[in-house]
Structure 1
Amino acid sequence: MPETNIMIKKYGYTSSVATLSTLAAALVLAACGGGGGGGSDSTAVSYSPGEVFKVGTTTYDPALPPEPTLPTDAQVCATLEASTNLVRRPDGSLPPEADPSKPGVGVAADPAVVNPDQARIQAALDACGAAVDKEVGPAIAAADAAAVAQQQAAAVPNKNIAGVSGEELAKPQYRGSKFAVRLVVNSKGVGDSFITGPLTLPSGVTLWIDKGVTMYATRDVKAYSPNIAGPYCANTAVSSSKAGSSGNCLALINGNNLINSAVVGDGAIDSRGYSEIVTTDKLYPLMKVDLTCSNTYVAYAKGQQAADGTACDNGGTLVNSKTTARNMTWWDLAYLGNMVQNGSTGSGSQSNFRMMVFNYAKNLTLYRVTLNNSANFHVVPSGVDGLTVWCVKVQTPSLAAFANPAGNGNPLYTGDTYTKDNVKNTDAFDPGAASSPTIVALTTGKSTTSSAKIAFDGYLKNFVFAYNYVSTGDDDVAMKGSNNPSPAGSNLPAIDGNRDVRSDRKYGMVIAHNHIYWGHGISIGSETNAGVTNMEVYDNSFMHSEEGLRIKSDYARGGEVSNINYKNICIRDADNALLFTTYYSTRPLPATGPRVPNFHDIRLENVRIFGDTAVKLQGFQANTGGLNLPAYPLIMTMTNVVTDNPSNVRITASDAQLTIKGVNLPVLASAENRVTVNGVATWAVDGDKVLDCSKAFVDFPAIGQSNIFGSGWDK
């Protein structure tokens, strides 16, 4: 039979097919509900023996380490009460009179009003850090020195000096008897909130935000950009040709070189990305919603005010001292920089502060706390041995965002209401490796360090992400394989779940028992250039998410992603249930040339998909971009991957080698698109025998902080 190019549209699936015989086989599959001939192919179905697994019901998992705990009252260094004049509204926001804005250009806010609590919280953290260092610092230093000496003597090739392990440091003798700073509601019964600028979390110290308490980020840009010479925060450009960057801003919670530190509690942190930015320095340049600016950075650095009509250098148009337009919010800047200016000039990006940034730590824990409305990424931990995120709730935007007084119901400067598509770069969790190993003093306070230096190998190791609820405007959790601290020439992956796995757990890199709502799902990348391998992702549910399971890269980043295991996954009403692509973006190639992404040994087992959705399976085609590049097909095994209605699934597949069994997705071979399929897709799959998703889709638990679309996620 001669070859011809025919388009099949079955199951809502469009695929290029090389031969009429392939077309005939596909039609038989669609008509008969089986594989191959005229009936079902029993070899295409595989059920696990015993009881069907129920997603979302596990309360104890022996593969995980023990659940973290809150400190006891006896372990508290200091307790700080909320002020009586700061009372959170039922929607989660502060009332306008709590820290009011003063309209106009060249108006300075009162620091005692817009940032009343930073100094006292930091003072308590510093005192606690000093006490912990005095008590257990010598023991930590001695343990590290002994470990470093042993590692240097062993001289293991291609292995960084890691110093004492996080597993050893988790023992009680390395934790101070008092190590927590606790924020509580006012004892008079009125006052449940704090407003603070950037905080430095010391080594060994836990910030405990008690039940009923919300810690709000100050709206004062000067708190995040304290130096008159820059770098400058709250812009979309820092010159006429250079884009903004979140690295220009201090984070709300900063933590470097830590051992046994944590942020815990049943309270909340709200970064107020929706809030109008103010300044305690009347000369500091702010952008207005009419895109004018109040000053230029050139003039500001000289202590001067630029004349009206001067070109802005913060991403705005012209200086205008007479405008009555309000100041931009953080999310206004994010949308302007990423969606408008970047698309037109290629040099736009927001300089917004992140909620938490941690670099180099052993035993870093986030537990039970609620995180809302970050101006940029919520949590960015790099180079952590023993990173635990357990029972944390992230909801961005929360209902507080829609109560923003400046927005009058249309919070963005464009007039649009917040949605999952316009709250840009609010990733919930972006864990990764650090750029290099280091031997450094521990942070004991905002301006103090330990007397002895401690070794960190820079890897992300022993990462547990469990029992969390996440709904945000970007990645829900994204493993970032961008930095690689490995010795030159060793080619070790940046993130490896088999590296130094602790004795109290089965896996070194695990994402389990989570509920994901809005956002880009559980992702790897797009920074995969340094490699990601050996991850376990199981017992997770996705509801109304933009993506479910996702691996993303491109030939500007490249990198190898391998041995990723997904099991017992329920996905409902996702835009893209499965998205594995080596063509994430069209970023400019690095000066060193293209980097080829390579995704292989990706395994999906027991995955149920409900509702209208898309699936994308794209490996890397040879000579992509017209360059002399090798082909790296997506190599994936799919066992018991089932949709409730194959007609509602749109598949894009290219450059893929797929092995399937018990799959009713319309997965077809295609010579034209370089797709090979080992196995046969079949309708003869009973989803109820694959996986029980009846308890998987639950309402977001933080009802009081729910967004404007209501709390009925499961309806």
Structure 2
Amino acid sequence: MLYRFGVIPCLVITLAVSLTACGSGDNSPSASNSDNNATSSAAHPAPFKVGVATSDAALPPAPQLPTDAQVCSTLEASNSLVRQPSGALGPEADNGTTSAILNPDQARIQAALDACGAAVDAQVSAAISAADAAAAAAQKAAAKPNINIAGASAQQLAAPQYRASQFAVRLVVSSTGAGNSFITGPLTLPSGVTLWIDTGVTVYATRDVMAYAPNPAGPYCANTAVSSTKAGSSGNCLPLIGGSYLVNSAVVGGGSIDSRAASEIVSSNSLYPLMRVDLSCTNTYTAYAQGLQATTGTPCDNGGNFVNTSASSRHMTWWDLAWLGNMIENGTTGVGSQSNFRMMVFNYAKNLTLFGITMNNSANFHVVPSGVDGLTVWNVKVQTPSLSASANPAGNGNPNYLGMVPTIDTAKNTDAFDPGSASKAAVQALTIGSTKTSTAGKISFDGYLKNTVFAYNYISTGDDDIAIKGSANPSPAGSGLFGIDGNRDVATDRKYGFVIAHNHIYAGHGVSVGSETNAGVTNIQVYDNSFDGSEQALRIKSDWARGGIVTNINYNDICIRDSGQALLFTPYYSTKALPNPTSPLYPDFHDITLSNVHIIGTTSAIFEGFQANTGGIAHAALPLGMTLTNVLADSPSNVAVTASDANLTLNNVNLPIFPSNANRVVLTGAASQSLSTAKAVDCSSAYVDFPGIGDSSPSGQTWAGSQ
């Protein structure tokens, strides 16, 4: 049922607040407004001011760049590669058909990473292995319950004795000319190594598909289908930066990474099948695997129509494939999905850090970390699409194959961060290079996502901004443990084990839990974040093909402006087919808290639990359980609320939420349109221009950015 308050104007009170201690104390969800506003009076504490915190005692210390003495090697950019003000490369930078032109820097960057990884291994891997074995023996002797695998924690291995004296590969601008860019194919990040992309440097992904699909027998990259019945998959492509079985690895610096997903895909192998914008293809995978060229008229096997050996239409871009596979083919054939490379994929790590870098225009998800203990994403900027997506001469400034220029709507499946657990525990040797592993001994990785921090980031993308994936549960059978639990093995240098705080979020789908929640998600803290123009802001989403328990998710001190859906909590996210038609995976969302949420502009909110007997399979209702405290809209009459199967507790809420027997909505407390917004969280400094990247922002800068 859809509700709106009437048009009776509500009372709005604006408070002028001067804060001398913003961000210097505990900005945690449990901190009171008076704790965060030192100048407030005890009788009338000023509302918390979102977006101004510079420190947070609840978080671990901020990451730091390496020192010059900690650098293994320094690589200078070629003077032939110069980034333009738009963020694009020059028009002749990689026009050609050979890997030497299309992918000039992958080999030398990887060689430097491998050499640094070998040196780090020689210095510290034996100590790491010994510490891991000792910790495992101690945990076994203590008979610690509900542990799937023993081993040293990320916090223990962060100590100096487990870090090499030199561990960073630094990419810098040319010292002899204007060069400030690198073009590379997939890189393997070794254990213990930091890739340092210096300020002023841009690392561009090669447009050469051969870099992402090196095996002639497959799996095949850059398609929407790999057969008439099998869809494409991002797993068919190597990521631009990847790594597994890592300890103390990082990607840092003031520079940027641009995957150029709006640029035309090319190939250094003329036989590799590519799809054109007219939906013809250049070859078939069947012929390619045999070293042959299929004749004109042969049906394509990559999602296109027919081979045309003489067509002049340009090749598709990565985002063309994403749109075709997801928005068109999937709806007609049911098997469409793009095979696009992801920017970063990391599996099984202890202490993985992303710090200071800017990421643009990923062909698929930007960062996918799974099974990481000690994941830190701090002061990172993600903007997709950036201005370079439409200005890039390598794409000839063309719109996509449907005639649309790149926008947040056409940059499909470009999630910024998709953190999750791994599917199982692992005992593996550390990766020390692209082809080598350590001989010092194997390390235990329990597969959980633990001690995770997203802080002080700026995120704008075409899909989820941060999406917590509770799809995998590496816990012992029958233990009852959640796939993602923010209270699991919390390090002593922080208050919470999973925090999303002090971030500015723009375009995209905001902070999400799901869609995959089948392994369970619990104990997540989301506080002091702003959402400006996001399609959604706060949401928990799942369905009965991927559902599970989501509980103890706490949102506090949130500003939301001009969002399509400010709040979205639904177990009906899709109609995805059940993996077992008689055994649905029921979404169960309860003990969710929304506190101090300030909503500005026209928007909507959805509060839905799972109805009994939905879909004709007998089961009990799973109502949404949520408490809303001090959740206020400047214009409550401009907020449309849909609610069903929900048990909601309301305290100082002016959204139009009403009890309903028909829709099974039970309220404790009541909403009131006439409530004053004097207690609303302070959003006066919450909204800022996307910072620090000059003309590369497609929306440009405004006076707000100079304040």
What is the TM-score with the length of structure 2 in the denominator? 0.93
Amino acid at match of 2:302: N
Please list, as runs of the form range in 1=range in 2, the aligned pairs for 1:286-325 lying within 5 A after superposition: 286-325=274-313
Q: Is the 8 A contact 1:47 1:690 kept in 2?
A: no
Q: What's the CA shift for 1:705?
A: 5.3
Please list, as runs of the form range in 1=range in 2, the aligned pairs for 1:368-447 lying within 5 A after superposition: 368-405=356-393, 409-447=397-435
Paired residue for 2:580, among 591, 610, 622?
591
2:653 matched to which residue of 1?
A: 663
Paired residue for 1:218, among 192, 202, 206?
206
1:534 matched to which residue of 2?
A: 523
Q: What's the CA shift for 1:600?
A: 0.3
Distance, in Å, in 1 between the alignment partners of 2:98 and 2:72 is: 30
Paired residue for 1:486, among 467, 475, 489?
475
1:561 aligns to 2:550 (yes or no): yes
2:145 matched to which residue of 1?
A: 157
Distance, in Å, in 1 between the alignment partners of 2:364 and 2:9 is: 50
Distance 1:32 1:520, change over 3 A: closer
Q: What's the CA shift for 1:487?
A: 1.1
Q: Is the 8 A contact 1:700 1:713 kept in 2?
A: no
3-state SS, counterpart of residue 418 of structure 2: coil
2:684 matched to which residue of 1?
A: 694
Amino acid at match of 1:391: N
Q: What's the CA shift for 1:407?
A: 5.6
1:685 aligns to 2:675 (yes or no): yes
Q: What's the CA shift for 1:420?
A: 1.7
Q: What's the CA shift for 1:701?
A: 0.2
Distance 1:702 1:343, change over 3 A: farther
Q: Is the 8 A contact 1:334 1:425 kept in 2?
A: yes
CA offset digits 1:511-567 (Å, max 9, x no partner): 000000000000100011100000110000000100000100001111000001100
Distance, in Å, in 2 between the alignment partners of 1:357 and 1:262 is: 12
Distance 1:7 1:112, change over 3 A: closer
Distance 1:8 1:656, change over 3 A: closer
Q: What's the CA shift for 1:647?
A: 1.3
1:10 aligns to 2:5 (yes or no): yes
CA offset digits 1:429-455 (Å, max 9, x no partner): 000000000100000000111111000
Distance, in Å, in 1 between the alignment partners of 2:542 and 2:272 is: 38
Amino acid at match of 1:596: Y
1:652 aligns to 2:642 (yes or no): yes
Distance, in Å, in 2 between the alignment partners of 1:651 and 1:55 is: 25
Distance, in Å, in 2 between the alignment partners of 1:271 and 1:193 is: 13
Distance 1:585 1:612, change over 3 A: same
3-state SS, counterpart of residue 662 of structure 1: strand
Distance, in Å, in 1 between the alignment partners of 2:397 and 2:604 is: 33
3-state SS, counterpart of residue 130 of structure 1: helix
Q: Is the 8 A contact 1:543 1:713 kept in 2?
A: no
Q: What's the CA shift for 1:10?
A: 3.2
1:110 aligns to 2:86 (yes or no): no
Q: What's the CA shift for 1:690?
A: 2.4
Please list, as runs of the form range in 1=range in 2, the aligned pairs for 1:53-132 lying within 5 A after superposition: 53-100=48-95, 109-132=97-120
Q: What's the CA shift for 1:52?
A: 1.8
Q: Is the 8 A contact 1:478 1:525 kept in 2?
A: yes
Distance 1:581 1:467, change over 3 A: same
Paired residue for 2:136, among 148, 152, 171?
148
Q: What's the CA shift for 1:154?
A: 2.9
Amino acid at match of 2:596: N
Segment drifting more, 405-414 vs 377-386? 405-414
1:504 aligns to 2:477 (yes or no): no
Q: What's the CA shift for 1:409?
A: 5.0
Amino acid at match of 2:526: V
Distance, in Å, in 2 between the alignment partners of 1:47 and 1:378 is: 35
Amino acid at match of 1:361: A
Moved over 6 A (4+): 30-34
Distance, in Å, in 2 between the alignment partners of 1:258 and 1:322 is: 47
Amino acid at match of 1:385: D
Q: Is the 8 A contact 1:395 1:706 kept in 2?
A: no
Amino acid at match of 1:230: G
Q: Is the 8 A contact 1:88 1:193 kept in 2?
A: yes
Distance 1:446 1:407, change over 3 A: closer
Please list, as runs of the form range in 1=range in 2, the aligned pairs for 1:197-216 lying within 5 A after superposition: 197-216=185-204
Segment drifting more, 587-596 vs 356-365? 587-596
Distance 1:709 1:682, change over 3 A: same
Distance, in Å, in 2 between the alignment partners of 1:7 and 1:529 is: 29
Aligned residue pairs total 675
What is the TM-score with the length of structure 1 in the denominator? 0.92
Please list, as runs of the form range in 1=range in 2, the aligned pairs for 1:224-235 lying within 5 A after superposition: 224-235=212-223
**Structure 1 regions of 5+ residues with no counterpart?**
1-5, 13-29, 35-45, 102-108
Q: Is the 8 A contact 1:11 1:649 kept in 2?
A: no
Distance 1:298 1:258, change over 3 A: same
Paired residue for 1:623, among 607, 613, 628?
613
Amino acid at match of 1:490: S
1:574 aligns to 2:569 (yes or no): no
2:263 matched to which residue of 1?
A: 275
Distance 1:538 1:113, change over 3 A: same
2:175 matched to which residue of 1?
A: 187
RMSD of the TM alignment (CA)?
1.7
Q: What's the CA shift for 1:714?
A: 5.7
Distance 1:56 1:8, change over 3 A: closer
Distance, in Å, in 2 between the alignment partners of 1:443 and 1:283 is: 33
Distance, in Å, in 2 between the alignment partners of 1:579 and 1:7 is: 14
CA offset digits 1:215-248 (Å, max 9, x no partner): 0000010100000000000000001110000000
CA offset digits 1:49-85 (Å, max 9, x no partner): 5232110000010000000000000000000000010
1:364 aligns to 2:359 (yes or no): no
Distance, in Å, in 1 between the alignment partners of 2:168 and 2:305 is: 47
Distance, in Å, in 1 between the alignment partners of 2:327 and 2:693 is: 31
CA offset digits 1:596-651 (Å, max 9, x no partner): 00000000000000001010111100011111122110000000000010111111
Q: What's the CA shift for 1:656?
A: 0.4
Q: What's the CA shift for 1:684?
A: 4.0
Amino acid at match of 2:617: L
Distance, in Å, in 2 between the alignment partners of 1:685 and 1:210 is: 51
Distance, in Å, in 2 between the alignment partners of 1:162 and 1:522 is: 32
Q: What's the CA shift for 1:162?
A: 3.4
Q: Is the 8 A contact 1:152 1:161 kept in 2?
A: no
Amino acid at match of 1:99: D
1:457 matched to which residue of 2?
A: 446
Distance 1:466 1:637, change over 3 A: same
1:178 aligns to 2:190 (yes or no): no
1:263 matched to which residue of 2?
A: 251
Distance, in Å, in 2 between the alignment partners of 1:714 and 1:413 is: 36
3-state SS, counterpart of residue 544 of structure 2: coil
Distance, in Å, in 1 between the alignment partners of 2:695 and 2:168 is: 26
Distance 1:187 1:491, change over 3 A: same
Distance, in Å, in 2 between the alignment partners of 1:489 and 1:236 is: 39
Amino acid at match of 2:380: V
CA offset digits 1:252-305 (Å, max 9, x no partner): 001100000000000000011111101111110000000000000011111111
Q: What's the CA shift for 1:491?
A: 2.4
Q: Is the 8 A contact 1:600 1:635 kept in 2?
A: yes
Distance, in Å, in 2 between the alignment partners of 1:231 and 1:539 is: 43
3-state SS, counterpart of residue 339 of structure 1: helix
Distance, in Å, in 2 between the alignment partners of 1:297 and 1:706 is: 38
Q: Is the 8 A contact 2:140 2:150 kept in 1?
A: no
Distance, in Å, in 2 between the alignment partners of 1:321 and 1:125 is: 40
Q: Is the 8 A contact 1:527 1:553 kept in 2?
A: yes
